[in-house]
A and B are shown apart, each in its own frame.
Chain A
Amino acid sequence: MKQVDMKKIFCVYLPLIVILLFILFPFYWTLITSVKPEDELYGTVVTYWPRAFTLESYRKLFTTTVNFFGAIKNSFLVATMTTLVSLTASTLAAYAFSRYQFAGRKILMCTFLCNNMFPTVLLLIPLYSIMRKMGLLYTPTSLVLSYTTFTIPFSVWLLLGFLNDLPMSLEEAALVDGCNRGVAFVRIILPILGPCLVATGVYIFMTSWNEYTFAVMFTNAETRTIPVALKSLIGQLGVQWDLLTAGGIITIIPVCIMFFFAQKRLVEGLTAGAVKG
Chain B
Amino acid sequence: MVKKRTIWPYVLVAPAVFIILCVVFIPVINAIIMSFQNYDLRRPKEIAFNGFSNYAAACRDPLFWGSLTRTIIWVVCGVGFQFLFGFILALLLNKEFKGRGVVRAVSMIPWVTPGVLIGLMWRWIYDGNFGVLNDLLLKVHFITDKIPFLSQVTTAFPSVIVTIIWQGIPFFALMLLAALQGVSTDIYEASDIDGASAWQKLILITIPSIKNTIFVTALLRIIWVANSVDVIFNMTEGGPAYSTQTLSVYIFNKGNALNLGYASAMALLMAVLLLFVAVPYLKMNFKEEV
The interface stretch among B42-50, B62-70, B115-123, B151-159 is B115-123
Residues of chain B lying within 8 A (CB to CB) of residue A113: 219, 223, 275, 278, 282
B180 to chain A, nearest CB (A): 9
| Contact between chains at A100 and B23 (CB < 8 Å) | no
Q: Which of A102, A112, A267 contacts B9 (CB 8 A)?
A: A102
Given A27-B113, A252-B113, are A162 and B267 also a contact pair (CB < 8 Å)? no
Interface core residue of B103, B175, B227 (most chain A CB under 10 Å)? B175
B53 contacts the other chain (CB 8 A): no
Residues from chain A with a CB closer than 8 A to the CB of B178 are 162, 195-196, 198-199, 266
For chain B, the bracket of interface size reads: 35 or more
Apart from A19-B89, A92-B15, A116-B220, what 5 extra A-B contacts exist at CB < 8 Å? Answer: A88-B15, A119-B227, A121-B229, A199-B175, A252-B113
Q: Which of A12, A145, A161 contacts B95 (CB 8 A)?
A: A12
Contacts of B105 in A (CB 8 A): 256-257, 259-260, 263
Q: How far is the CB of A92 from chain B (nearest CB, A)?
A: 4
Does any Cβ of A come within 8 Å of B245's Cβ?
no
Q: Which 10 A-B pairs have the closest CB atoms?
A: A161-B216, A199-B178, A96-B12, A123-B27, A100-B9, A260-B105, A121-B255, A126-B27, A96-B9, A117-B271
Q: Give min CB distance, B71 to chain A, whole Å.
A: 12
Of A11, A15, A101, which is in contact with the most chain B CB atoms at under 10 Å from its CB?
A101
Q: Mark A178-219, 1 if CB is under 8 A from B, else 0.
A: 000100000000001001101100110010011010000000
State which residues 135-194 of B face A: CB under 8 Å. Answer: 135, 166, 169-171, 174-175, 177-179, 181-182, 184-186
CB-defined contacts of A203 to chain B, threshold 8 Å? 171, 174-175
Most A CB within 10 A of own CB, among B16, B28, B216: B16
Q: Which residue of A97, A160, A162 has the most chain B CB atoms within 10 A of its CB atom?
A: A162
How many A residues face the partner with a CB closer than 8 A? 109
Q: Which chain A positions have C-beta within 8 A of B184?
A: 167, 275-276
Question: Considering only CB atoms, which chain A residue lies closest to B3 in the complex?
Answer: A101
Inter-subunit contact B26/A275 (CB<8 Å): no
Within 8 A of A (CB), among B6-49: 6, 8-10, 12-13, 15-17, 19-20, 22-24, 26-28, 30-31, 34
Please measure, in the bound complex, the distance between the C-alpha atom of A91 and the C-alpha atom of B171, giving whole angstroms.
19
A102, A123, A227: the one within 8 Å of B115 (CB): A227
Indicate if the CB atoms of A117 and B13 lie closer than 8 Å: no
- Closest A residue to B97 by beta carbon equals A12
- A93 interface hit (Cβ, 8 Å): yes
Residue of B with least CB distance to A88: B15
Instruction: Contacts A15-B88, A161-B217 given; indicate if A106 touches B286 (C-beta within 8 A).
Output: yes
Query: What string of 1s and 0s marks CB contacts (under 8 Å) between A22-47 and chain B?
Result: 11101101100100000001110010
Given A110-B282, A115-B20, A156-B16, answer yes or no on A127-B271 (Cβ-Cβ < 8 Å).
no
A20 vs B28: C-alpha distance when bound (angstroms): 41
A126 to B107, CA, bound (A): 38
Interchain CB contact under 8 A, B13 and A93: yes
Compute how far the CA of A101 lies from the CA of B84 in the bound complex, rounded to whole angstroms.
Answer: 35
